[in-house]
Amino acid sequence: MNLPNYFLADLPPEATLSPMMIAAACHTLKRNREKYLLTRTTEDLVKILCEVAVEWLQPENKFRRLALELGPEQTGFSQATLARGLDAFFRRFTPENFQALLAQDLGADTDRHFWHGPGLLVHIAAGNLPNPALMSLTLGLLTRSAQFVKCASGAALLPRLFAHSIYDLDHKLGACLELAEWRGGNVALETALFAEADCVTATGSDETLLAIRSRLPAKTRFLGYGQRVSFGYVAREVLRDEDISKTVSQAADDVIAWDQNGCLSPHVFYVEERGAIESDEFAKRLAVELANRESSAPRGNVPVAEAAAIAARRSMYETLAAHRGDSKLWASQGSTAWTVVFEHETRFRFSPLNRFIYIKPVPDVAAVLPGVDEIHGKVSTVGIAATPEKLPELARQFARWGVTRICPLGQMQNPPLTWRHDGRPALGDLIIWTDCEQ
Amino acid sequence: MVDLPSPISHGRFSELALELFALQFKYNSTYRKICVARNLTPATVKAWTQIPAVPTAAFKGLELTSIPPPARTAVFHSSGTTEQQPSRHFHCAESLALYEASLIAWFLENVPADLRLICLTPPPALVPHSSLVHMFDVVRREYSLPASAFIGQLARDGSWTLDFVAADNQLKGSNNSRPPVIMLGTAFSFVHLLDYLAAKDLCFNLPEGSLVMETGGYKNRSRVLPKAELHALITERLGVPRENILCEYGMSELSSQAYDSEIHPLSSTRHPRIFHFPPWARGQIISPETGREVAEGETGIIRIIDLANVFSVAAIQTEDLGVRRGDGFELVGRAPLAEPRGCSLMNA
C-alpha cells in the first residue's frame, strides 16, 4: 500500500511494538495537541471534517480507492458493500448535521472555553465494521483531544485510511492522531497506553469491557459500548401494493448493510399479520430482493465457521419445515449468501448474520414485547415501517419498553451524527464542563 | 479378539447404504418427511453421497427412529447443558446389540486388548442415557479383567465430577504395576483430574504400555485447554507418552466411532492425529457454501453415514468442523452459533 509511515499501524507486520514506544507516542500526541489542536475553533474543525468527507465521496479519491481495492481482502466486505457503507457514513458529514450535533450535546451558543475534551482520548475499537472507529475519531477531533486508536487485530485498514486522509488535508491535525494494531489483552502495551489516557472508550463484548475497565487507573474515565442487537417492525398498513416494493427494499437495505455484522443490524423483522399483503408473502418478496441484491452488491466471503453456522441453521429449518407447515425457508442455492426464515414463533432469535434474517408474523406490537424479553437492555435499534399516523404510538411503546433508538426501516445501519450511542450523548459524554456561576 | 474388519469397496458400501436408505425411508416416517421435502427419495438417490443427512439437532425435537414406542428398551441422550433438550437416540434389543458389535470391533482395532480400565465417568447405573458410558461398559465386559473402575460421580446438578479419593487409589494402585491400564474419559474429566493432581502436586507413572483415550468437548464444565496442552499435561502428570494418547470422536446419534489412534497397524502410512471411522461408516467433509464435499485439506462440516445406525437414520449432519485428510479427517471444532445457548430451535 502506498501510504507513508505516519502511524504505528503503518509499520510493517514484523515490527514489534514496545510499551516504551506506546508511551513515547502518547507524549508526542499530547505535545502536538497543545501546539496544534487546542487553538483550533470548532467551526474550523467541522470545516475540515466536512472537507475530508467530500474527498471520500469522490470516486477518484485515493483513500477511497485504496479502501475499495484492499477492503474486500482485509475486511471481508465486498466492494459494493464497502462503497455503500462508506458513502452513507460520509454523506452525514455536513456543516448542518455537525451543528445539530453540537447544539444537541453542548448547547447552541456555548462558549468553547467553558468545556473541554479529554487530553488524551484512547479508543479500543472492535473489528466487525469500520464506522464506529471512524465516528470515535471524528467526535474526538471535535473535543480537541489527542487520540490513540487501538485497532482490533486485522481491522486497522479503514481507520488508518481515514486518519491518513485527515493528515493529508491537515498535517497538524493528523499529528494529533495515533493508530496501532495488536491483539486485545496485551497487558504490557495496554498498561502503558492506559497510564497516559484521560478517557478510554471501548466497543466489544461485556467480558472485554469488564476486562478493560478493571485495568484502568482510577483517574481515567471509561465509556464502554457493549454488544447490542436490533430488530425491525413492519406495520400492516404499509403491506399494500402501493408500498410493498419500497418496504421490501428498505428491509433488504438493512439486511445487506455491512452484511448485517453490526449491533444496529436486524436479526429479526416482526411483521404484522392481516395486511393486504400477508407476512409470509413479505418474506417471500424479501427473499427475491435479497437474491437481486446479491447480484448488485454481493455479500463478502465469510469464514468457514460462520458459513457452517448458517448451513447448520438452514438444515434445522429445512427439517422443521418438513414437519410443520407454518415455517418456511428461502435460501440462496450453492452458497450461504442470503437466507430468509419465516416462522410463527414470536420469540426473538439470534441470527447467524451475514444476511440471514428471520421474519416473524405478529398480531400487533404487544405480541412482540414478550418475545424480546430475553434481550431486554441489550437492544440498540428498532427499524420501523409504518404510516405516519401509526408510527408515534409504536415508537412510544418501544421507547417505554427500553429501546434506545427508533429509526425508519432501511436506515438501521445509518444513524445520524446526533445519534445517542446506546441512549447516551456520544459527544456530550466526552466533555468536561467548567461551570461559571453568576 | 474380533476379526480385523475387512475393507468394504466403494461400490459395496454404496449398495449397502442405498439399501439401508430405502429401508429407513420406508419404515421411518419422520425421516421420510424430511426426504420428501428435499425431493430425495430411493427413486431419485443414486449414490450414497446423495442420501439426505439429518442434522443432529433434529434428534432433539423429532423421534427419528423406526422402533415403535413399546419396543424401545433404551434411549441415549446427547450431553450438554441442562437447560437444553437433549438429542434422543432410541434403541431396542436388536439395535443395541448392533451398537455394541460396531463399537467393540473398531475399539479393539484401535486399542490393544487386556488393559485394565479406569473410566473417569460415572458408572453405567448412574447414567443410563449416556452412550459413551454404555460403550465403556461394553469394553469393560469384553476385556473381562478384574478391578476395572468407574471413578466419576454425579454432582447434585447432574453434571459429571470425579471421586478424587477413588482416583488417588486407582492411580497409586497402578504405579509401575502390571497390567498396563487404559484411562478413558471426556476432555473435561481429564482437566478435572489434572487440576486435582496439580493442586496436590502429584505425578504418576502409569505402567509401560498404558493408554489414555479422551473424547468430546468441554461443554462449559471445565476450563478449555488446547488439545496439545491437555496431552502434554497428561504426559506430565500420568506418565503416558503422547503416542499413547488417542482421541475418540463419537456422539449419541451414531452407532460407530472414529479414532485418531497412532497405534493402529495402518497408522504409519496415515497422517498423524487423523480420525478414521470403521469400514461400515464414512465421514465426509462438506462445504457449507456449496453442500458438496470439499477438496483435500479444506475445512467443512462433518457428515457421517453410519451403516450401524440401522434403526434410526444412517446419514447424520453434525455441527462439527473438520479438515479433509485422505480417507479421514482432522477435527477442528464446533460450528459457532449453530444453536445459541439456552434455546432449542427444534422444540416443536
Whether residues A323 and B288 touch (CB distance < 8 A) is answered with no
Domain end call among B236, B263, B290: B263
CB of A108 less than 8 A from some CB of B: no
Q: What is the DSSP letter of A67?
A: H
Domain end call among B263, B292, B320: B263
| Domain assignment present for A164 | yes
Instruction: Answer yes or no: do B229 and B162 share one domain.
Output: yes
| Domain assignment present for B47 | yes
User: How far separated are the first and last CA of chain B, in Å rounded?
Assistant: 45
| Domain assignment present for A420 | no
| Domain assignment present for A426 | no
Range of the domain at A22: 8-227
ipTM of predicted complex: 0.86
Instruction: Answer yes or no: do B145 and B201 share one domain.
Output: yes
Whether residues B55 and A316 touch (CB distance < 8 A) is answered with yes
Residue for grid cell 497409586: B172
pTM of the predicted structure, to 2 decimals: 0.91
Range of the domain at B277: 10-86+268-334
Domain end call among A204, A227, A250: A227
Nearest to B274 by CA among B293, B258, B252: B258
In chain A, which residue's Cα lies nearest the Cα of B320? Answer: A308
CB of A219 less than 8 A from some CB of B: no
Q: Which of residues 336-365 of A touch B (CB under 8 A)?
A: 336, 347, 349-350, 352
CB of B38 less than 8 A from some CB of A: yes
Instruction: Answer yes or no: do A134 and A257 share one domain.
Output: no
Alpha-carbon Rg for chain A in angstroms: 23
Compare CB distances from B321 to A308, A322, A324 and report the shortest one's residue: A308
CATH value at residue A355 = 3.40.309.10
Instruction: Answer yes or no: do B287 and B217 share one domain.
Output: no
| Domain assignment present for B167 | yes
Instruction: Answer yes or no: do A197 and A259 share one domain.
Output: no
- The predicted-structure confidence for B109-142, as pLDDT tens digits, reads as follows 998 877 889 999 999 999 999 999 999 999 999 8
User: How far separated are the first and last CA of chain A, in Å rounded?
Assistant: 56
CA distance A401 to A407: 16
- The predicted-structure confidence for B289-328, as pLDDT tens digits, reads as follows 999 999 999 999 999 999 999 999 999 999 999 999 998 9
pLDDT in single tens digits along all 438 residues of chain A: 578 899 999 998 888 999 999 999 999 999 999 999 999 999 999 999 999 999 999 999 999 999 999 999 999 999 999 999 999 999 999 999 999 999 999 987 778 889 999 999 999 998 889 999 999 999 999 999 999 999 999 899 999 999 999 999 999 999 999 999 999 989 999 999 999 999 999 998 888 999 999 999 999 999 999 999 999 999 999 999 999 999 999 999 999 999 999 999 999 999 999 999 999 999 999 999 999 999 999 999 999 999 999 999 999 999 988 888 789 999 999 999 999 999 999 999 999 999 999 999 999 999 999 999 999 999 999 999 999 999 999 999 999 999 999 999 999 999 999 999 999 999 999 999 999 888
CB of B195 less than 8 A from some CB of A: no
Instruction: Answer yes or no: do B80 and B149 share one domain.
Output: no
What mean pLDDT comes out for the span B135-153?
87
Whether residues B288 and A336 touch (CB distance < 8 A) is answered with yes
Instruction: Answer yes or no: do B224 and B122 share one domain.
Output: yes
Instruction: Answer yes or no: do B248 and B319 share one domain.
Output: no
What total of structural domains would you count in chain A? 2
Instruction: Answer yes or no: do A205 and A233 share one domain.
Output: no
Instruction: Answer yes or no: do A214 and A266 share one domain.
Output: no
CA distance A91 to A102: 18
| Domain assignment present for B69 | yes
Which residues from chain B sit within 8 angstroms of residue A310, using beta carbons?
288
A173, A141 contact by CB (below 8 A) = yes
CA distance A301 to B16: 38
Which residues from chain A sit within 8 angstroms of residue B285, using beta carbons?
none
Instruction: Answer yes or no: do B168 and B232 share one domain.
Output: yes
Cis peptide before B179 (omega within 30 of 0): yes
Angle, alpha carbons A381-A384-A385 (nearest 5°) = 160
Interface test with B, best of A229, A260, A304 (most B CBs within 10 A): A304
Instruction: Answer yes or no: do A256 and A209 share one domain.
Output: no
Q: What is the DSSP letter of A204?
A: S
Instruction: Answer yes or no: do B61 and B121 share one domain.
Output: no
Domain end call among A195, A227, A259: A227
Domain end call among B242, B263, B284: B263
- Burial track A192-222 (b if 16+ CB lie within 10 A, e otherwise): bbbebbbbbbbbbeeebbeebeeebeeebeb
CATH value at residue B211 = 3.40.50.980
Amino acid at B75: V
| Domain assignment present for B121 | yes
Whether residues A308 and B338 touch (CB distance < 8 A) is answered with yes
In chain B, which residue's Cα lies nearest the Cα of A338? Answer: B289
What total of structural domains would you count in chain B? 2
Whether residues A319 and B62 touch (CB distance < 8 A) is answered with yes
Contacts within 8 Å (CB) and 24+ apart, A392-398: A394/A233, A394/A235, A394/A365, A397/A365, A397/A366, A397/A369, A398/A233, A398/A365
